[in-house]
Structure 1
Amino acid sequence: MVEGTRRGYNDRGSRISPLLVYPPCRFSALPRHPPFGLMSLAAVLREHGIQSEILDLNALRPPLAEVKTRIAESGANVFCIGGMATVYYYIKCLTLYLKERYPKTPIVCGGSLATSLPEHTLRNTGSDVCVLGEGEPVILDVLRAVVSGEGLDRIPGIAYLDPSGRVVFTPPRPRLTDLDSLPYPAYDMVDMDLYFRNELRVKFPTFGSRGKELVEKGVDPDWLARPVTIFTKRGCPYQCTFCYRNFGRQLVSFSVDYVISHMRFLEERFRTKHFVIADETFNANRHWVREFCRELARRNANYLINTANSNRAANLDEELVWLMHQAGFSEIGVGIESFHDPSLRYMKKGQTAQQTKDAIAITKRYDSYRFAMMLFGFPTDSKEAMDLNVKTLSSLGIFSCNFNIPCPYPGTELFDYAVEKGIIDDVEEFLLRLADKDVGELIVNVSNMSDKELLALIRYGYDALLLEKLRNSRLGPLHPILKHVHGFIWNLFRVSLLQCSRAAYSRLRRLGRADSPSRTSFKRACELRKEVFSELSRLSGGSKPSRGAAGHRDPFGRDGAE
């Protein structure tokens, strides 16, 4: 850190006034995840006397004209923006506008996009500096340097454009190992109530047996209707080829005392007892998990805790699941991906289908497993692999499932493979094609099937799983007939059943539901994306941006509807 400067000022005595911008993630989906990275940076800056502002465009979803107005009103003298590769198009549009409108104001980019593709980001957007990896250790030094105009070469772990336009990488910096030194994120700088409502509506419409148990103990149901996301560690030590590791492979944990103190702070601040742990792999350190669970049980905290699918099957056993259940874990999800061993080996999952089945069987005994996330579309996948997935899911009693398509996100081994094989031959075009996309959509096909064959097999998987669900329900006697019904009649029945199921599920989700100001209709989402691409085309001059990047085109050919 820079020493000997006044709090909130750089070496020359100039006030540092950063605006931290969080781009919108998937216009057509409800915003559910607060900008924790920017909230952590804002908290660090506040500790050092620098008052920043977070412009949470993901929550607000405003048109570009309003974005420009808010930026002008901020009075910032440095802009910080970050996000994933799926918001590259928005980051590019916004940073090019900022560079056009405020040419002397520095722009700092961070997050997984800047870390995985720093040179591409610097050459194709308006960004001046990319922070690689964790931002908290260097944010003060970077802001002081860019506001004063002094050299960046002494700051480790960044990339920047020098005056000649050359991309300079400074020496790497070690990971932050004392996470307990970090302040709690700046929850007061974003609309947490909006995120609570949306998380409840989308992911946790009911509370399971643990929630019922807590209500019977006298816990106010309203305190369960405010799910707060927290993190207990950073990094993931495993080798999965499809996964981008936000903090690399080195696993660093907050202390158990820090995490529980953080939970107590959130409990008092937001009147909640519902926590969602969003680690990349929650049970990567089994010893830590045991200590955490025992301490929660000892304190009789009466929490409702979910981990979604962030548990590794090979690290789950009866003892650990029992401890988690005793500590208040309601959902103990497992990262499945596939039950096809050749595909598991191809993606370097490092565990077998049998280990996954054993882990799920244990969690189901404690009513702690509800939804499967699968990946289908690797070169090793086929109809036989899909049949095996459906058969295994059915045997485990799992009928709620997503078959997602592996996407070669920048920074993953799968991305390197796709570039090497020419599947991705233009990185810029690929990044623009990622715009606002979700994991269930076909963006790049790395399988040995045609796009049509791959999508048909995924639909077949959903239909086969639905048939298995019918076979195990009161409609079981109709299964032999329905199994052989094809064409229009089957599709009509399938769609009707799905619509009825969705309507029933929607009624359940109304618990604690309030209309969200950021609930964007599909048509409106298309309009907002079209507006961004239109502005991006203008800023790029219809051909090439000023920094020599590839020319922009809207890869979706949007005309206001998709």
Structure 2
Amino acid sequence: MKGKILFIVHDVYQKDNYFPSGVGYMAACLKANGYEVSVYCQDIYHYTNEELAEYLKKESFDIIGLGFLAARFKETVVELCKTINSHKKDAWLVLGGHGPSAIPEYILKTTSADIVAIGEGEETLVDLVNCKVNNGDISKIQGVAYNINGKISINERRKPIRKLDTIPFPEWSLFPMDEYTTCLKFYGMNPKDKSIPIITSRGCTNRCNFCYRLEKGIRFRSITNVYHIHNVR
């Protein structure tokens, strides 16, 4: 059975639209494993929650994924999760990102989501989709917290992906690339050209007390691997 996943990129209520790199990388991993992936761009088109509800009524998914930072939780995510929960049918609502990863139990209690993916999501989401479509045992999946009938469980933490070269670059075809704001301009750049961010490393060498680090240390893609991205048009 082929898994079907929907990523929702929530609205940030601004005119500048920056490419959602995290979703792009996770979508690429899921596609590479043969799963069907869709992206609902609230950020680009400013769809309302009511419009999202109508979309969900017409479609069915195995997993609905939503990532966010803590700053957007109260003002956006809580109501958005209510809408998703009311129309998700049999799908699992999976939350991820820096916000949920730091406080998974609180997030599960506050949103009534099914699962929080803690830390990097590429391998975790593949395992979750496989578990969902094959009626597997979620207690054996690393890097998740989950809520079953009001009982919250937190599984063993998943180790970071050491070789970043194994992660495919974003699945550009799923996104309205012409709609994204240029993230960097430089001298001599054609006004019609655009730039978008790519992730060449993960982690940080510092330990700032005001910042939540998903993982200790820092990891890099190889120069050769990053160079291949010049073929993107």
Does the 8 A contact of 2:95 with 2:115 survive in 1? yes
Query: Separation in 2 of the partners of 1:134 and 1:252?
Result: 13
Change (3 A) 1:96 1:147: farther
Q: CA deviation at 1:148?
A: 4.3
Q: CA deviation at 1:31?
A: 3.3
Q: List runs of 5+ in structure 1 lacking aligned partners.
A: 1-8, 10-14, 270-562
Q: CA deviation at 1:147?
A: 4.0
Equivalent position of 1:231 in the other structure: 199
Query: Separation in 1 of the partners of 2:156 and 2:48?
Result: 40
Q: CA deviation at 1:48?
A: 1.2
Residue 130 of structure 1 is aligned with which of 102, 116, 131?
Answer: 116
Read off the aligned partner of 2:182 and give its amino acid letter: E
Change (3 A) 1:77 1:174: closer
Q: Do structure 1's residue 17 and structure 2's residue 4 form an aligned pair?
A: yes
Does the 8 A contact of 1:96 with 1:125 survive in 2? yes
Q: CA deviation at 1:34?
A: 1.3
1:319-330 matches, cutoff 5 A: none
The 3-state SS of whatever aligns with 2:122 is: coil
Choose between structure 1 and 2: higher helix proportion: 1
- Larger Cα Rg: Structure 1 or Structure 2? 1
Change (3 A) 1:30 1:221: same
Deviations 1:331-353 (A, max 9, x none): xxxxxxxxxxxxxxxxxxxxxxx
Q: Do structure 1's residue 265 and structure 2's residue 196 form an aligned pair?
A: no
The 3-state SS of whatever aligns with 1:20 is: strand
Q: Do structure 1's residue 151 and structure 2's residue 137 form an aligned pair?
A: yes
Deviations 1:348-401 (A, max 9, x none): xxxxxxxxxxxxxxxxxxxxxxxxxxxxxxxxxxxxxxxxxxxxxxxxxxxxxx
Q: List runs of 5+ in structure 2 lacking aligned partners.
A: none
Query: Separation in 2 of the partners of 1:230 and 1:62?
Result: 26
Identity %: 22
Read off the aligned partner of 2:190 and give its amino acid letter: P
Q: Do structure 1's residue 63 and structure 2's residue 63 form an aligned pair?
A: no
1:212-291 matches, cutoff 5 A: 215=188, 221-222=190-191, 225-245=193-213, 247-262=214-229, 264-266=230-232, 269=233
Does the 8 A contact of 1:18 with 1:77 survive in 2? yes
Which TM-score applies when normalising by structure 2?
0.91
Read off the aligned partner of 1:177 and give its amino acid letter: R
Change (3 A) 1:117 1:55: same
How many residues get paired?
232
Read off the aligned partner of 2:153 and give its amino acid letter: V
Deviations 1:403-422 (A, max 9, x none): xxxxxxxxxxxxxxxxxxxx
Query: Separation in 2 of the partners of 1:51 and 1:154?
Result: 24
Residue 165 of structure 2 is aligned with which of 169, 173, 180?
Answer: 180
1:322-361 matches, cutoff 5 A: none
Which TM-score applies when normalising by structure 1?
0.39
The 3-state SS of whatever aligns with 1:138 is: helix
Q: CA deviation at 1:103?
A: 5.0
Does the 8 A contact of 1:35 with 1:56 survive in 2? no
Does the 8 A contact of 2:60 with 2:89 survive in 1? no
Q: CA deviation at 1:222?
A: 4.1
The 3-state SS of whatever aligns with 1:153 is: helix
Does the 8 A contact of 1:20 with 1:55 survive in 2? yes
Using CA pairs below 8 Å that are at least 6 residues apart, which structure has the higher relative contact order?
A: 2
Query: Separation in 2 of the partners of 1:103 and 1:50?
Result: 19
Read off the aligned partner of 1:265 and give its amino acid letter: N
Q: Do structure 1's residue 82 and structure 2's residue 67 form an aligned pair?
A: yes
Read off the aligned partner of 1:190 and give its amino acid letter: F
Change (3 A) 1:108 1:174: same
Query: In angstroms, what is the RMSD of aligned CA positions?
Result: 1.9
Query: Separation in 1 of the partners of 2:91 and 2:36?
Result: 17
Read off the aligned partner of 1:191 and give its amino acid letter: P
Query: Separation in 1 of the partners of 2:87 and 2:57?
Result: 10
Query: Separation in 1 of the partners of 2:196 and 2:8?
Result: 22
Does the 8 A contact of 1:18 with 1:79 survive in 2? yes
